[in-house]
Amino acid sequence: MSDDETETRLETTQLELPKYPSLERIVNLYPGPQVLLGHDLYWTEKRDGTQIRLAWVEGELLVSTQHMEQASPQFSTRFMRTLQAEGTIGLLKEHNGEPENPINDFNCGLVVFGELLCKGRSPARFEKHEQDEFVIFDMYGCKGREFFPYPLAYQYAFHFGLPFVECWALTRHATLESLYETRDKMLQVAAEKHREGVVLKCLSGGGPIYAKEKLDLPVIPHVEREDGAIRLPPLPESEVYGVIAKVEADIGEEFADKTKAMPLVAKYIQQEYRKHMCGKPPGDLFQYYVKYREGKNETENS
């Protein structure tokens, strides 16, 4: 390998890997939802799983979760036993200069984002799966430091026989009224297809701008006031179970130890309160943790 080839190879592996954007609801976008007007908007299905990031770094697969640069061995094993693992690794190698030619037109420092759909009932209880499965929802090129447009990312996945989230609509809006009408229609589609909700992606106008809308989240900003106190709607139970699933992905086998799991559950749940403008869920956090573990044990023993 020449010096130029070595330099390019190292440049690819040393680029900083991106974190996936935090998904706010449309009404919470900064400086306001009007930033979406006049731009192409892709509305894609939101799968009910655990988000992971996959990258090919220095000849090895790196599996990351939202909070952990390196996922637990237990969770990485879940990905590796999916039918999509081999194809995803092939995709990453192809677009990171391996194995044939370290310098080619496809070498973009590819990073893949997707949902790991584990066997059994999904975290937010919207889906049920017979086996572990991986579905891609986005791709990022480290060389260009940008997320790929939906059609390009879909093509990359298609050529390796990999599933990609469905796109339900491509729209452009001149008014907020039209935007919200489409949001409501997309949530109707989500209900019909038994999906958790919809993700909106805008890559023009200084993007990317991403947002999510879910079937079980309360309408914002309906806030009741009594004696000067602000009463926020409770955080939906599906969000609580989603948080608990993230903790399991982060700490693996230690998840069975409540003294290690519960502090992280409490930490992550606080972030969800702020993100969704909600208060405490209707039940006790520890009981949600117990119920989640009972459900997982039933699935594993079935």
Each residue's pLDDT expressed in tens, for the chain with a length of 302 residues: 444 443 334 344 445 789 998 888 998 888 889 999 999 999 999 999 999 999 998 889 999 998 889 998 888 999 999 999 999 999 999 898 765 554 455 678 899 999 999 888 888 778 888 999 999 999 999 988 899 999 999 999 999 999 999 999 999 999 999 999 999 999 999 999 999 999 999 988 677 899 999 988 766 544 444 555 556 778 888 888 888 988 988 888 888 999 989 999 999 888 888 777 778 888 889 998 898 888 766 555 55
In this structure, the number of other CB atoms found within 10 A of the CB of residue 276 comes to: 20
pLDDT at 4: 44
Delineate the domains of the chain, giving CATH numbers in brackets: 21-47+167-215 (3.30.1490.70), 48-164 (3.30.470.30), 221-292 (no CATH)
Contact 118, 242 (CB under 8 A): no
pLDDT at 46: 96
pLDDT at 123: 80
pLDDT at 212: 94
Residue 41, beta-bridge partner list:
171
CA distance 39 to 42: 10
Contact 221, 277 (CB under 8 A): yes
pLDDT at 171: 97
Is the pTM higher than 0.85?
no
Q: Which residues are CB-neighbours of 191 under 8 A, at least 6 positions away? A: 215
